[in-house]
Chains A and B, each alone.
Chain A
Amino acid sequence: MTTVEYPILVVEDDDGIRQLMQLFLEIEGYRVITATNGQEGLEALSTAPDKCLILLDLMMPVMNGWEFVDALQTTRHADAPVVVVTAYADQVGDIRCNGVLGKPIELDALLETVRKWCGSRNGT
Chain B
Amino acid sequence: MSLKEDQQEESGARWIAGLLAAPHRFGAFASAVVFFFLYVLVAELSYAFVIPPSSNAVFWLPSGITFSAFVRARRLPQIWPFWLSALFLGQLAVVFRHGVPPFTGITWAVANVLLPVTGGVLSRRFVRGPFNFRSLPDVLTFGALVALSVIPGGVVAGIGSVAGLNTPWISSAISWAASDALGIVLLAPVILSWTTRRSRSAGGLTEAAVLFSSLTMSSFLILLYPRSATLDRLLSFLFFFVAWAAIRFGPRGTSVALLVVDLTQVWAISGGYGPLAGPDVGEGARILNLQILVANVGLLMLLLAAAIEEQRTARMTAESALKSRDEFLSIASHELRTPLTSLAMHVQMFNRLALQGRLSDLSMEKMAELGRISERQLLRFSSLIDELLEVSRIGSGRFTLHREELDLYQLVRNAISRYRLDADSSRSVIRLHGDAGVIGHWDRSRMELVLAQLAGNALKYGAGRPVDITVEQDGGKARLTVMDHGLGISPEYRARIFERFARAESITRFGGLGLGLFIVRRIVEAHGGSIEVESEIGKGSCFKIELPLDAGRAERLGDAA
Q: Do A104 and B337 contact each other (CB < 8 Å), given the known contacts A19-B373, A20-B373?
A: yes
Q: Mark A26-69, 1 if CB is under 8 A from B, else 0.
A: 01000000000000000000000000000000111110101000
A21 touches B345 (CB 8 A): yes
Chain A residue at minimal CB-CB distance from B510:
A61
A to B CB contacts below 8 Å, 21 in the list? A14-B511, A16-B338, A16-B341, A16-B376, A16-B377, A19-B342, A20-B349, A20-B370, A23-B366, A23-B369, A27-B353, A27-B366, A59-B508, A59-B509, A64-B509, A88-B334, A103-B337, A104-B345, A105-B344, A107-B352, A108-B352
Check if B339 is an interface residue, CB within 8 A of chain A.
Answer: yes
Chain A residue at minimal CB-CB distance from B511:
A59
Check if A15 is an interface residue, CB within 8 A of chain B.
Answer: yes
Check if B406 is an interface residue, CB within 8 A of chain A.
Answer: no
Chain B residue at minimal CB-CB distance from A26:
B366
CA distance A19 to B366 in the complex (A): 11
Q: Do A27 and B361 contact each other (CB < 8 Å), given the known contacts A17-B338, A87-B338?
A: yes
Residues of A within 8 A of B377 (CB): 16
CA distance A14 to B425 in the complex (A): 10
Name A residues whose Cβ lies closer than 8 Å to a Cβ of B. 13-17, 19-21, 23-24, 27, 58-62, 64, 66, 87-88, 103-108, 124
Check if B362 is an interface residue, CB within 8 A of chain A.
Answer: yes
Chain A residue at minimal CB-CB distance from B361:
A27
Residues of A within 8 A of B509 (CB): 59-62, 64
Check if B507 is an interface residue, CB within 8 A of chain A.
Answer: yes
Q: Mark B342-383, 1 if CB is under 8 A from A, else 0.
A: 111110110011001010011000100110011011001000
Check if B162 is an interface residue, CB within 8 A of chain A.
Answer: no
Residues of B within 8 A of A88 (CB): 334
A14 touches B338 (CB 8 A): yes
Residues of A within 8 A of B341 (CB): 14, 16-17, 87, 103-105
CA distance A106 to B352 in the complex (A): 11
Residues of A within 8 A of B362 (CB): 27
Q: What is the minimal beta-carbon distance from A66 to any residue of chain B, in angstroms?
A: 8
Check if B340 is an interface residue, CB within 8 A of chain A.
Answer: yes
Beyond A27-B358, A60-B509, 9 additional contacts (C-beta under 8 Å) are A16-B341, A16-B342, A16-B374, A16-B377, A17-B341, A17-B345, A19-B369, A19-B373, A108-B352
- A-B CB proximity, top 7 nearest: A16-B342, A104-B341, A20-B345, A16-B377, A61-B509, A107-B348, A59-B508
CA distance A9 to B53 in the complex (A): 93
Residues of B within 8 A of A23 (CB): 349, 366, 369-370
Q: What is the minimal beta-carbon distance from A98 to any residue of chain B, in angstroms?
A: 21
Residues of B within 8 A of A59 (CB): 507-509, 511
Q: What is the minimal beta-carbon distance from B455 to any residue of chain A, in angstroms?
A: 16
> A-side binding surface: helix, strand, loop or mixed?
loop
A104 touches B344 (CB 8 A): yes
Q: Do A15 and B345 contact each other (CB < 8 Å), given the known contacts A23-B370, A87-B334, A104-B337?
A: no
B339 touches A107 (CB 8 A): no
Q: Mark B427-464, 1 if CB is under 8 A from A, else 0.
A: 00000000000000000000000000000000010000
Residues of A within 8 A of B505 (CB): 61
Residues of B within 8 A of A66 (CB): 508
CA distance A15 to B344 in the complex (A): 14
Residues of B within 8 A of A20 (CB): 342, 345-346, 349, 370, 373
CA distance A15 to B427 in the complex (A): 12
Q: Mark B502-516, 1 if CB is under 8 A from A, else 0.
A: 000101111100000
CA distance A87 to B356 in the complex (A): 28
Q: What is the minimal beta-carbon distance from B192 to any residue of chain A, in angstroms?
A: 45
CA distance A19 to B375 in the complex (A): 13
Chain B residue at minimal CB-CB distance from A91:
B508
Q: What is the minimal beta-carbon distance from A27 to any residue of chain B, in angstroms?
A: 5
CA distance A16 to B348 in the complex (A): 14
For A19, A62, A124, which residue has the most chain B Cβ atoms within 10 angstroms? Answer: A19
Residues of A within 8 A of B366 (CB): 23, 27
Residues of B within 8 A of A64 (CB): 508-509
Q: What is the minimal beta-carbon distance from B497 to any residue of chain A, in angstroms?
A: 17
Q: What is the minimal beta-carbon distance from B505 to any residue of chain A, in angstroms?
A: 8
Q: What is the minimal beta-carbon distance from B336 to any residue of chain A, in angstroms?
A: 11
Q: What is the minimal beta-carbon distance from A53 to any residue of chain B, in angstroms?
A: 18
Chain B residue at minimal CB-CB distance from A58:
B508
Q: Do A15 and B338 contact each other (CB < 8 Å), given the known contacts A20-B346, A23-B370?
A: no
Residues of A within 8 A of B334 (CB): 87-88
Residues of B within 8 A of A21 (CB): 345
Q: Restricting to B313-348, which residues have a CB under 8 Å from any CB of A?
A: 334, 337-346, 348
CA distance A117 to B356 in the complex (A): 23
CA distance A60 to B509 in the complex (A): 4
Residues of A within 8 A of B349 (CB): 20, 23-24, 27, 107
CA distance A104 to B323 in the complex (A): 26
Q: What is the minimal beta-carbon distance from A86 to any residue of chain B, in angstroms?
A: 10
Q: What is the minimal beta-carbon distance from B408 to any residue of chain A, in angstroms?
A: 29
A16 touches B339 (CB 8 A): yes
Chain B residue at minimal CB-CB distance from A17:
B342
B373 touches A16 (CB 8 A): yes
CA distance A9 to B505 in the complex (A): 26
CA distance A78 to B345 in the complex (A): 30
Chain A residue at minimal CB-CB distance from B421:
A15
Chain B residue at minimal CB-CB distance from A61:
B509
Chain A residue at minimal CB-CB distance from B422:
A15
Q: Do A24 and B508 contact each other (CB < 8 Å), given the known contacts A17-B338, A19-B369, A87-B338?
A: no
Residues of A within 8 A of B346 (CB): 20
CA distance A16 to B356 in the complex (A): 24
Residues of B within 8 A of A104 (CB): 337, 340-341, 344-345
CA distance A64 to B510 in the complex (A): 10
Residues of B within 8 A of A105 (CB): 341, 344-345
CA distance A20 to B340 in the complex (A): 12
Chain B residue at minimal CB-CB distance from A24:
B349
CA distance A32 to B352 in the complex (A): 20
CA distance A59 to B338 in the complex (A): 12
For A16, A87, A104, which residue has the most chain B Cβ atoms within 10 angstroms? Answer: A16
